[in-house]
């Protein structure tokens, strides 16, 4: 029986890399997100490679009713979910005193409350399967602080806390809950950060990218596929004793322990 992996934010960046990797590992994949075009492209690529995938567009993780409909649609087509990857997120940049309440609420709604809503919607399905994995894509910003992204840091710290709490609630089941915490990763999200740096400092895009890469002791940006590799390990059979962990994928920038 093919296991079903449900991935939010699956149309681009890290979410896309995770979808492609899990499909290659034999999972049926549902990629959920707001924009149909990139989701359809990812699903088509998986199908063309011989895998099974469907796109779940118009999936807004802040809309509780819409989340329930999207999850039900995926289950109707692929069966109950055994793997949930919460990857949808936003990372706007602003100094604390220029962060509006609207911006704060939006970031927390997407990055933290979205994880809560999607996990609540999917968990009954995982319980019906009897075993499963929940992986939350957090960030090194969930482990330490960074300037000019106070809302993002707060939201990702919240995701790490939620991960730990739920892992303990489910510890006596066969369901594990973990987080991966990428450092600066070469995705469209980082392109937005680079644009901000260019606009505020006058540096070239190449200089801005190099600045972000220097935060990684390896001197480079993390690749989305490397984050996907970490997720693939966490959802594999051999990781059944790994739960409640927040694993930094950051080239040594953050040392957890």
The reported pLDDT for the residue numbered 205 is 74
Q: For the segment 119-146, what is each residue's pLDDT rounded down to a tens digit?
A: 999 999 999 999 999 999 999 999 999 9
The reported pLDDT for the residue numbered 97 is 96
- DSSP lists the bridge partners of residue 85 as 7, 135
Quote the CA–CA distance of 204 and 116 in Å, as a whole number: 39
Residues 107 and 155 sit within 8 Å (Cβ to Cβ): yes
Among 139, 117, 105, 106, which residue's Cα sits nearest to residue 68? Answer: 117
Q: Provide the 10 A C-beta neighbour count for residue 187.
A: 21
User: Exposure string (b/e) for 66-94, b if CB count within 10 Å is 16 or more?
Assistant: bbeebbeebbeebbbbbbbbbbbbbbbbb
The reported pLDDT for the residue numbered 223 is 93
Backbone phi, psi, residue 4, to 5°: -105, 125
In the chain, where the domains are located: 4-183+223-249
Backbone phi, psi, residue 144, to 5°: -140, 180
The reported pLDDT for the residue numbered 228 is 98
The dihedral through the CA atoms of 105, 138, 18, 243 has a sign that is negative
Rounded average pLDDT over 237-242: 96
Backbone phi, psi, residue 91, to 5°: -140, 65
DSSP state of 85: E
Q: For the segment 153-192, what is each residue's pLDDT rounded down to a tens digit?
A: 999 999 999 999 999 999 999 999 999 999 988 877 777 7
Instruction: Grade residue 1 by pLDDT with cuts at 50, 70 and 90.
Output: low
Does the structure show a pLDDT above 70 at 12?
Answer: yes
DSSP state of 18: H
Q: For the segment 32-84, what is each residue's pLDDT rounded down to a tens digit?
A: 999 999 999 999 999 999 999 999 999 999 999 999 999 999 999 999 999 99
Q: At what angle do helices 150-169 and 114-129 cross, to 10 degrees?
A: 20
* Cα end-to-end span (Å), the chain: 37
Quote the CA–CA distance of 20 and 8 in Å, as a whole number: 13
Domain 4-183+223-249 class in CATH: alpha beta
% of the chain beyond a pLDDT of 90: 78
The reported pLDDT for the residue numbered 208 is 75
Instruction: Grade residue 257 by pLDDT with cuts at 50, 70 and 90.
Output: low
Q: Please give the positions annotated as active site.
A: 152
């Amino acid at each position: 029986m093919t296991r079903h992996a449900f991935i939010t934010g699956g149309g681009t960046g890290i979410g896309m890399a995770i979808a492609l990797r899990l499909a290659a590992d034999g999972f049926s994949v549902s990629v959920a997100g707001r924009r149909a075009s990139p989701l359809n492209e990812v699903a088509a690529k998986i199908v063309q490679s011989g895998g099974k995938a469907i796109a779940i567009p118009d999936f807004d993780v802040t809309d509780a009713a819409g989340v329930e409909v999207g999850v039900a649609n995926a289950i109707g087509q692929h069966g109950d979910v055994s793997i949930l990857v919460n990857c949808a997120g936003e990372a706007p940049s602003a100094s604390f005193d220029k962060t509006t309440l609207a911006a704060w609420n939006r970031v927390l709604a997407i990055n933290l409350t979205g994880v809560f809503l999607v996990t609540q919607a999917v968990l009954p399905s995982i319980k019906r399967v009897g075993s499963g994995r929940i992986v939350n894509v957090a960030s090194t910003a969930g482990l330490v602080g960074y300037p000019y992204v106070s809302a993002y840091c707060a939201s990702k710290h919240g995701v790490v806390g939620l991960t730990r709490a739920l892992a303990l609630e489910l510890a006596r089941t066969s369901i594990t809950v973990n987080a991966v915490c990428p450092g600066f990763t070469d995705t469209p999200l980082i392109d937005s950060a680079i644009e901000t740096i260019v606009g505020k400092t006058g540096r070239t895009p190449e200089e801005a990218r190099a600045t972000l890469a220097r935060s990684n002791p390896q001197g480079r940006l993390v690749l989305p596929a490397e984050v996907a590799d970490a997720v693939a390990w966490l959802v594999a059979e051999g990781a059944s004793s790994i739960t409640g962990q927040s694993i930094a994928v950051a080239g040594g920038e953050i040392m957890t322990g």
